[in-house]
Each structure stands twice: as C-alpha cells, then as structure tokens.
Amino acid sequence: MSYDNNFYPITQVNGASVPGDIPCPTGYTWKLSDVSASDAGRTEDALMHKKLITQKRHLELEWENVYRNEAAAILAAFNTEYFDVTYWDVLTNGYRTDTFYSGDRESPMYNMALGIQSSVKFNIIER
C-alpha cells in the first residue's frame, strides 16, 4: 500500500517507514525548549539573564489501542540510544530530520486475551 506522507507527523524512524513498518501515532505534541548557559539566571536586581545557547525539540508521542505486535514494533524502532526521526516541525512549517533519544516508555495493557495494549507512549528529545 502506498501512503502520502504529507498527512503524517512522523514519516521515518531510523529508516523504518511511518506508517508502514510502524503505525502512525494517534497523539503528537511538539515542544521547543531553550537551553541556557550554566551561569544564566536572575541577578539580585531581579533582572533575568537567559544566556540562550540553543533550542531543542521534544516530541510527545502516543499510540492508542494497538495490538501487541504493533506495540513491539513501535518500541523496537525507538529502542536504540540515539535514532534519526523525520517529523513535522511546527516552527519551520515543514519536515525535518534530527537525532533524538527517548524518555521512559510505557504501555498499559488493555486486553490480554485480545492482545491489545491500551497505549504506547513516551517522549523523544532532540540530542
């Protein structure tokens, strides 16, 4: 089956196609975090000295009601120390590819007999 990736928030994870090799997430939250110098902060006159070094993207991802084999494929795709992800970047209004690492992953069981996980969810942070 052929997919038009212009409708998906993520299109690739370490060479795996989304959707295709792994399903498209049902939840996608884009975040941007500022990274400040170690000596940044407020001085005694209450003036903030941000000393911005760079900005990093965070993506909060969730897949709802997935079969166990899909949950395993999702978790395996993000189970290396670092991985490349092609994703929709809200700031640039286009797709970009960056290297990420993963936060804690969770997947509550919904129905063991049917082999369905309630969800798979975690965040990924730009390296």
**Average pLDDT, integer, range 49-69:** 96
CA-to-CA distance for 126 and 30, rounded, in angstroms? Answer: 11
Q: What is the mean pLDDT of the chain?
A: 93
What is the DSSP annotation of 72-111? Answer: HHHHHHT-SSSEEEEEEETTTTEEEEEEEEE---B--EEE
98 forms beta bridges with 85
Residue 3 has pLDDT above 60, yes or no: no
Domain boundaries, the chain: 5-37+50-126
pLDDT above 90 covers a percentage of the chain that reads 88
Residue 6 has pLDDT above 80, yes or no: no
For the stretch 32-42, pLDDT in tens is 999 999 999 99
CA-based nearest residue to 120, from 60, 31, 58 = 60
**Average pLDDT, integer, range 93-105:** 97
